[in-house]
Structure 1
Amino acid sequence: MTHSDTPKPTIHVLMVDDHKVVRSGLRMLIESHPRMKVVGEAGKGSDALAAASREHPDVILLDLVLGKETGTDLIPGLLAASEESRILVLTALHDEEEHRRAVRLGAMGVLNKEASTELMIKAIEKVYEGEFWLDRFMTASLLAEMRRPAESKKQEPTEDKTARLTAREREVISLVGKGLKNKQIAERLSISESTVRHHLTSVFNKLEVCDRLELLVFAYENGMVAVPA
Structure 2
Amino acid sequence: MTTPEPRAVTVLIVDDDPLVRAGLAMMLGGDPEIRVVAEAGDGAQVPPLVDRFAPDVVLMDVKMPVVDGLAATEALRARRDAPEVIMLTTFDADEHVLRALRAGAAGFLLKDTPPGEIVAAVRQVALGHPVLSPAVTRRLIARVAGTDDDRRRAHASDRLAVLNAREREVAVGVGEGRSNAQIGAVLHLSVPTVKTHVSSILAKLDLNNRVQIALLAHDAGLLGEPE
TM class, shorter-chain normalised? 0.5 to 0.7
Separation of aligned partners in 2, 1:102 and 1:163: 25
Aligned amino acid, residue 90 of structure 1: L
Q: How many residues align?
A: 179
Distance 1:23 1:40 in 2: 10
TM-score (norm 1): 0.63
Q: CA deviation at 1:46?
A: 2.0
Give the Å deviation of 1:20. Answer: 1.1
Paired position in structure 2 for 1:64: 62
Counterpart position of 2:199: 174
- Equivalent position of 1:155 in the other structure: none
Asked whether the 8 Å contact 1:64–1:89 carries over to 2, the reply is: yes
1:1-229 aligned at under 5 Å gives the runs 7-80=5-78, 83-134=81-132, 136-141=135-140, 161-162=165-166, 171=196, 173-174=198-199, 200-201=204-205, 213-215=211-213
Q: What is the CA distance between 1:94 and its match in structure 2?
A: 4.4
How far residue 169 of structure 1 moved from its aligned partner, in angstroms, is 11
- Sequence identity of aligned pairs in percent? 27
Question: How far does residue 141 in structure 1 lie from its aligned partner after superposition?
Answer: 4.2
Name the SS of the counterpart of 1:66 in structure 2.
Answer: coil
Could you say what the CA RMSD is over the residues aligned between the two structures, in angstroms?
4.0
Does the 8 A contact of 1:39 with 1:55 survive in 2?
yes
* Unaligned residue ranges in structure 1 (runs of 5+): 151-159, 178-195, 220-229
Give structure 2 stretches of 5+ with no counterpart. 155-163, 170-191, 218-227
CA distance in 2, matches of 1:105, 1:164: 21
Amino acid aligned to 1:102 = A
C-alpha distance in 2 between matches for 1:16 and 1:218: 28
CA distance in 1: counterparts of 2:211 and 2:12, whole angstroms = 23
Higher relative contact order, structure no. (Cα contacts within 8 Å, ≥ 6 residues apart)? 2
Q: What's the CA shift for 1:81?
A: 5.0
Q: Do the aligned partners of 1:53 and 1:81 also contact (CA within 8 Å) in 2?
A: no
3-state SS, counterpart of residue 130 of structure 1? coil
Change (3 A) 1:17 1:175: farther
Task: Mark the CA change 1:51 to 1:82 in structure 2 (over 3 Å): closer, same or farther.
Answer: farther
Q: Secondary structure at the match of 1:138?
A: helix
TM-score (norm 2): 0.64
